Structure 1
Amino acid sequence: MPDRVTDPSAARPLDRLRRRVRTPRQKLVASLVTAAVVLGLGGYGVVRLTTPEDRSCAAGVERPAGSTECIGVNGDGHDFGVGELGDIARAIGAENASLKPDDHVTVALLLPLTSTDGGMRIKMLNELRGAHAYQYRANHESNEELPKIRVVLANTGKGNAHWRTTVDRLIAMKDSADRLRAVSGVATSSTEVREAVTALTGAGIAVVGTTITADDIANAPGNDRYPGLARVSPTNGDEAKALANFGKKVDATKALLVQDTRSGDHYTDTLKAAFAATLKGTPHAPELFTSPPDPNEEGTTANTFRNITLLICDTRVDTIFFAGRHTQLRQFINALGARGCTHRSFTVLTGDEGSYLGADAKLDRRALRSKLTVRYAALAHPDAWVPAEGREVPATGGSPKAYETFLKDVTRDAKEPPPLADGQAIVAYDAMATAVHAIRQATPQGARHPAAADVATQWPQVKGSLRVEGASGWICLDNYGNPYNKAVPIVELAPNGSQRFVQIAWPEGHPPVAPCLPPKRG
């Protein structure tokens, strides 16, 4: 019989028992280690719970609660997480860094920089390019005039949803070392933009709109709702009048209005009112569609347009006035391309939102080869003031020299010429030129900076010999800050996506008389 002590099978249970039995010292050490671990994890948890989450993106910019967008104001080169804005944001930041602390004032570019809409992103990139081109001219090619111009980017977020946060920051900058003296950009005719302009002008800050065209985001006789607001683009009413003067041969009995029923969009609301006034003689009731709350979304309007085109084929119409945003305009053109009556010719006339179509990858360009002509009232075009064979450049209302100066400025450091056909860079350049003009006109002799209130009162004097020689045409403002008889390029969308200049049209039916003094209104 084997010895029990040396039997391995008998020894194992004893070994396991010994391993489970701890000495008092071992127990004390184990307790201390466990306590330390628990306290450490607890302390980490307390720190996590009591330390606010870092939501900053850059100086003056952070992500609001519940949002991933970087919202706020920055002039140090921050691109707000939008990669394609990186180069121009850094160029603006570098120019700002070169300025002496007491020599400059600030101009903000208020835009929805983190918009996810492709067309809007291209628009904003080109606006920043144009604004920076004039910033450089103002700081380096104006005989060392003061003040110099610092530019900051002010992001209101997708759909301008965070305008309040950004506008509050801008208002605080008016009386700080930033010396905010004007806000430009202001590029969409929406309710949010209207409220932003109301807040800024109510705080005594001058605002220069670039591509806002709604008639009700403007001042008028007896209605100074936005004191200190100026615009460099014609109103929708003026666009419609220019289109009407261009298309005087349009037979109203063969014309039809297609319009959005969604209310609160000031671009669409004023455009359809202006077109309705132009088409008083039409026997046809407007064809209606309703865009989504965010008109950049596709929604179901494509289905509606398929039906509308069937009804258009039932009429004798040959000209269609379209009052709606660019997404719905593209859907409508695509539907017309697939219409049953492709043997008939149609012309679509619309406002400046047509400028987005050239870069819209969802546009069915085959539609433009099916006896369909699409023309829109542009805010600017690179060929409008360039002499060409068979096309006479107007003697007043603008000049080739002013456009040549812009072209030199916007291509100065560019690796390749930026796209200019949508007119956005041209208009933003002119808006910055107008802001700088007012800032320097308001600066007293011998002073380095103007008072904010004095900048906002300069607009009634921007006319005659004090007009701005814009690259898009003369900017001579009436007493309410609106451009008088501004040149309106009529542009045709070509099948290859190019935007072909047709001719300049004028709200008054003819170019302004030099030196461009707006007549009395109201």
Structure 2
Amino acid sequence: MARRGVGTWVRESVWEIPLRRALALLVAVALVTGVVFAVRALAHVDRTCAPGVERPEGGEECVGVATGGYDFGHAQLRPAVRAVARENSRLKPGSYVTVALMLPYSSASRTSLNDIQHQLQGAYLAQYRANHESNGEGPAIRLVLANPGATGGQWRRTVDQLTRMTRSADRLRAVAGIGQSTDNNKKAVRELTRRGIPVVGSSITADDLANGQHGADPFPGLARVSPTNTDEARALASFAKVSAGKALLVYDKPGDPYTRTLQESFAALIKGSPYEPQPFTPPADRSQEGTTANTFRQITHLVCDTSRETDTILFAGRHTQLRQFINALGGRGCQDRRFTVLTGDEASYLTHERDLDRGALGRRLAVRYTSLAHPDAWTADPARTGGSAADFGVLRGLLARSGREPVGPIGPAALDDGQTIIGYDALQLAVHGIREAVPDGRDFPALADVGLQWPQVKGSLRVSGASGWICLDAHGNPYDKAVPVVELTPRGGSRFVRIAWPEGKPPAKECLPPS
């Protein structure tokens, strides 16, 4: 083999070194680029849960407005969600307006999920009736599910989304539901109504989540189908004849909109009581257990320390704490004394609560509360005004057909906690406002006109709800609404006791609120 010359070696070396460096540089650039793209890919994880619903950065809850058949990961909601999706799919494009049912669908609380399931079932049955059994009236109603998070913490994101839907082909015209009277829900209602979106509250009862208090209307466009806490307390007082000298108040401190206004209403009923009200402090998330069970054990000692004439305990708190208090009273030292706990509609959550000590209710202890609705209210106490068995019978008939198509299936249903009934009535009121606002010659109402209908919902324009007549005053609050007084039973479930009225008697047949 011939030897290579020095000149040849020099020429090759001159080119070889830069080439190696260039190749090394290219390899390095490729590696860096790959790492950058990999980091970017990891940073842009798809957080979509379903159409309209996603997980916000730093959170695992799926929040937003579900426009398809999404059940938020809860199997017990699935049949009702699918029923809504089927009904929505039947609607012709351009024929409908949208109503959002806003509830905390991502809640992990078993008790709250029962409430959500039943309200959803009731709202769906009202949607089905509006679209199929209202003599062809329009527009058709499309129902979507708005989730602000388990505690309502993502309310602003959800409100922004709902606002966009008012300007799109969705034609959102009302938000119904809302659920509990919490600080986050209060903020959400304030912002929705500030943006001109009508709201129909189903189970909100707090006085400071209502218009007309001290003459002010902080939530323009808000209507409610449930009485305020003050009206519930007045109805309860007319039923129970509460005496200041025989009652003790136990209350949530610092409270939330529901518990604070219930406390104030109860305190007014027993003004001059010889007993200091007994506070307890629950976790910020009142669905959690916290340490309040310890406090309630101590309060039961104070209950037994009262005079023997004291037989009533007024409880201003949420259902988790109420359950703990009932369980503690079941083990009180003074078992020979009879007590009645009186509380607000939050007690309806305990109708199917597995952790409630039902045995406590057999130890000279009664728990009575103001329910938002009850299936026996009109059959057991057929008032001539204020509601009727026939009006409730419409819902019962729909429910009887809901196990199969075309109405159902919607899953196992229950009426005794009142939530199905009140969810049905809330959507009925929303549909009424929407259809009354449609101008002559048009197919759809303007968003601003729907909320203007609430002051006219009275007299012959009232809504004949399954829970009773819905006659609204000028501020959107129900006037002299029927308040079923219900008692938890040792065997499970609840027992209807009697209808009570905020005005002490049923409304006149005209159902026109006084000035």
What TM-score comes out, normalization by structure 1 length?
Answer: 0.90
How far has the Cα of 1:106 moved from its partner?
0.3
Secondary structure at the counterpart of residue 480 of structure 1: coil
The one-letter amino acid paired with 1:293 is A
The answer on whether the counterparts of 2:80 and 2:411 sit within 8 Å (CA) in structure 1 is no
The answer on whether the counterparts of 1:75 and 1:96 sit within 8 Å (CA) in structure 2 is no
The one-letter amino acid paired with 2:321 is Q
How far has the Cα of 1:68 moved from its partner?
1.2
Match 1:125 to one of 117, 136, 154: 117
**Unaligned stretches of 5+ in structure 2?**
1-18, 404-409
How is 1:195-214 mapped onto 2 (pairs within 5 angstroms)? 195-214=187-206
How far has the Cα of 1:252 moved from its partner?
2.3
Secondary structure at the counterpart of residue 457 of structure 1: helix
Match 1:412 to one of 376, 397, 401: 401
How far has the Cα of 1:514 moved from its partner?
0.7
The one-letter amino acid paired with 2:115 is K
Task: Identify the residue that residue 479 of structure 1 maps to in structure 2.
Answer: 474
Match 2:89 to one of 97, 108, 133: 97
Task: Identify the residue that residue 236 of structure 2 maps to in structure 1.
Answer: 243
Secondary structure at the counterpart of residue 515 of structure 1: coil
CA displacement, residues 274-304 of structure 1 (integer Å, 9 cap, x when unaligned):
0001111421111111111111111111111
Secondary structure at the counterpart of residue 458 of structure 1: helix
2:349 maps to 1:356: yes
2: CA distance, partners of 1:517 / 1:101: 39
Task: Identify the residue that residue 512 of structure 1 maps to in structure 2.
Answer: 507
The answer on whether the counterparts of 1:75 and 1:92 sit within 8 Å (CA) in structure 2 is no
Return closer, same or farther for 1:266/1:416 CA change in 2, 3 Å cut-off. Answer: closer
The one-letter amino acid paired with 2:131 is N
2: CA distance, partners of 1:117 / 1:295: 11
Match 2:300 to one of 306, 309, 314: 309
The one-letter amino acid paired with 1:58 is A
Secondary structure at the counterpart of residue 208 of structure 2: coil
Match 2:128 to one of 136, 149, 170: 136
Return closer, same or farther for 1:115/1:398 CA change in 2, 3 Å cut-off. Answer: same
The answer on whether the counterparts of 2:205 and 2:229 sit within 8 Å (CA) in structure 1 is yes
1: CA distance, partners of 2:392 / 2:335: 40
1: CA distance, partners of 2:356 / 2:399: 29
Q: Percent identity?
A: 57
1: CA distance, partners of 2:385 / 2:274: 38
The answer on whether the counterparts of 2:174 and 2:200 sit within 8 Å (CA) in structure 1 is yes
Match 2:246 to one of 249, 254, 257: 254
State how many pairs are aligned: 486
Secondary structure at the counterpart of residue 417 of structure 2: coil
2: CA distance, partners of 1:396 / 1:94: 37
For the aligned residues, what is the CA RMSD?
2.0
The one-letter amino acid paired with 1:312 is V
Specify the structure having the higher radius of gyration (Cα).
1
2:221 maps to 1:223: no
CA displacement, residues 329-354 of structure 1 (integer Å, 9 cap, x when unaligned):
11111111000000110000000011
1: CA distance, partners of 2:50 / 2:164: 18
Secondary structure at the counterpart of residue 379 of structure 2: coil
CA displacement, residues 119-158 of structure 1 (integer Å, 9 cap, x when unaligned):
1111001010000000000001111111000000001111
2: CA distance, partners of 1:460 / 1:430: 17
Secondary structure at the counterpart of residue 478 of structure 1: coil
1: CA distance, partners of 2:266 / 2:289: 24
Q: Which segments of structure 1 move beyond 4 Å, counting only runs of 4 or more?
A: 35-42
1: CA distance, partners of 2:177 / 2:133: 23
Task: Identify the residue that residue 4 of structure 1 maps to in structure 2.
Answer: none
Task: Identify the residue that residue 8 of structure 2 maps to in structure 1.
Answer: none
Match 1:446 to one of 441, 444, 462: 441
2: CA distance, partners of 1:386 / 1:416: 25
2:145 maps to 1:153: yes
Task: Identify the residue that residue 84 of structure 1 maps to in structure 2.
Answer: 76
How far has the Cα of 1:411 moved from its partner?
3.3
2:337 maps to 1:344: yes
How far has the Cα of 1:41 moved from its partner?
9.3
What TM-score comes out, normalization by structure 2 length?
Answer: 0.91
CA displacement, residues 321-377 of structure 1 (integer Å, 9 cap, x when unaligned):
000111111111111100000011000000001101122111111111110000000
2: CA distance, partners of 1:320 / 1:345: 11
How far has the Cα of 1:110 moved from its partner?
0.8
2: CA distance, partners of 1:136 / 1:273: 40
2:276 maps to 1:285: yes
Task: Identify the residue that residue 50 of structure 2 maps to in structure 1.
Answer: 58
